[in-house]
């Protein structure tokens, strides 16, 4: 297998926390002859200048072999969205609370370095996505698309249907549409089902439903899900936790499942079930 020669680097918002790992990344890249690319925002945040393996003010282009993320799930999702529908896998060092999508922990990097990344000693897990078309263009979610009532506003009235057939209408604070990878996020907090990685289709769960009959739903991968705003106020829409737009009263959006949209690096032996036990067991210990 061809070793890695160029890498995009993304980091979270606390540069001091990742400093030791970043230093190790730069040192290992210099030794391995790997080019590290940082866009202008990353370079300014980290105080970097071009030299050695470092290239600053580099566009987040697809002409790289790997994307390395030093951060939590939010930053990892940023990398997965950026390199969706490409051959570039995302290799993530966990600096988040849970790090469910992370490839490796900082302690392991401190011990063994980035050789496993540069030598491609990892497996690539293909992750699905959910797409919606908005006025701002097509949006891609790796974890979830969530609909929220406005802060301080009325309770939302959201109807949802599959393939043009209305399934129900619920008064609620919101609704989440998730992939299997995202089912352990907002969906889990809503009481929705956890979907093992590899399960096709997407889940629908409700945020604080004002109903005794609202139930989570798993939609088949080939079916389109419609969500309509039946209330009197706009509803916020978030992609992987980021606000992107609103849906006006009377309007609807269509969510569609897309298989094999992004590539996540994972070390051999890390099954979904081991990851689930390790990451969420840690929170309860």
Domain boundaries along the sequence of the chain: 6-122+267-284, 129-260
- Point out the catalytic residue in the list 28, 39, 65, 73: 73
Q: What is the pLDDT at residue 285?
A: 44
> What is the token pair recorded at 178?
């998730």
Question: Rounded to whole angstroms, what are the CA distances from 163 to 36, 167, 224, 226?
Answer: 45, 10, 5, 8
Neighbouring residues of 41: CB distance < 8 A, sequence distance ≥ 6: none
Which CATH number among 3.40.50.10330, 3.30.420.140, 3.30.450.20, 1.10.10.10 corresponds to the domain 6-122+267-284?
A: 3.40.50.10330
Q: Is 179 helix (H, G, I), strand (E, B) or coil?
A: coil
What percent of the chain is modeled with pLDDT above 70?
A: 98
Q: What is the pLDDT at residue 282?
A: 55
Q: What is the pLDDT at residue 51?
A: 94
Q: Confirm if 9 and 68 have CB atoms less than 8 A apart.
A: yes
Q: How far apart are CA 162 and CA 153, in angstroms?
A: 28
Q: Is 172 helix (H, G, I), strand (E, B) or coil?
A: strand
Nearest to 195 by CA among 185, 216, 180: 180
Average pLDDT, the chain: 92
Query: Digits of tens for pLDDT over the chain (285 positions)?
Result: 788 999 999 999 899 999 999 999 999 999 999 999 999 999 999 999 999 999 998 888 889 999 999 999 999 999 999 999 999 999 999 998 877 899 999 999 999 999 999 999 999 999 999 999 988 789 999 999 999 999 999 999 999 999 989 999 999 999 999 999 999 988 999 999 999 988 999 999 999 999 888 889 999 999 999 999 999 999 999 999 999 999 999 999 999 999 999 999 999 887 777 777 777 765 444
Residue 81: is it exposed, middle or buried by C-beta count within 10 angstroms (0-12/13-18/19+)? buried
Q: Cα-flanking dihedrals φ and ψ of residue 42, to 5°?
A: -65, -45
**What DSSP letter does each residue of 258-280 carry, written as one string?**
EEEEEEEEE-TT--HHHHHHHHH
Residue 266 β-bridge partners: 123
Nearest to 89 by CA among 56, 116, 58, 111: 116
> What is the token pair recorded at 19?
């400093």
Tell me, rounded to whole angstroms, the distance of Cα 200 from its chain centroid. 17
Q: Give the architecture (CATH level 2) of 129-260.
A: Sandwich (2.60)
What percent of the chain is modeled with pLDDT above 90?
A: 80
Active site (annotated) includes residue 73: yes
Q: What is the pLDDT at residue 60?
A: 83
Residue 271, number of CB atoms within 10 A of its CB:
11
58-64's contacts with Cβ under 8 Å and 24+ in sequence apart are: 58/8, 60/8, 61/8, 62/86, 62/88, 63/6, 64/6, 64/7, 64/8, 64/37, 64/88
């Amino acid at each position: 297998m061809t070793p890695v020669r160029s890498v995009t680097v993304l980091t979270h918002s606390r540069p001091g926390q990742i400093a030791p790992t970043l230093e190790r990344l730069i040192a290992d890249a210099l030794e391995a002859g790997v080019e590290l690319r940082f866009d202008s925002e990353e370079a300014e945040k980290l105080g970097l200048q071009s030299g050695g393996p470092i290239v600053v003010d580099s566009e987040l282009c697809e002409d790289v072999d790997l994307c390395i993320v030093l951060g939590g799930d939010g930053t990892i999702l940023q990398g997965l969205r950026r390199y969706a529908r490409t051959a570039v896998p995302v290799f993530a060092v966990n600096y988040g609370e849970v790090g469910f999508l992370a490839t490796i922990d900082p302690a392991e990097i401190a011990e063994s370095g980035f050789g496993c990344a540069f030598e491609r000693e990892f497996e690539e897990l293909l992750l699905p996505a959910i797409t919606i078309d908005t006025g701002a263009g097509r949006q891609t979610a790796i974890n979830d698309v969530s609909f929220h009532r406005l802060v301080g506003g009325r309770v939302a009235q959201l109807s949802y249907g599959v393939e043009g057939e209305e399934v129900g209408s619920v008064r609620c604070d919101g609704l989440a549409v998730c992939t299997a990878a995202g089912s352990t996020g907002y969906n889990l907090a809503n009481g929705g089902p956890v979907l093992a990685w590899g399960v096709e289709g997407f889940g629908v769960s409700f945020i604080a439903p004002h109903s005794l009959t609202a139930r989570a739903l798993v939609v088949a991968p080939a079916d389109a899900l419609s969500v309509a705003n039946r209330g009197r106020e706009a509803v916020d829409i978030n992609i992987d936790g980021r606000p992107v737009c609103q849906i006006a009263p009377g309007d609807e959006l269509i969510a569609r499942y897309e298989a094999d949209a992004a590539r996540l690096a994972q070390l051999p032996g890390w099954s979904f079930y081991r990851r689930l036990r390790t990451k969420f067991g840690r929170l309860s210990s």
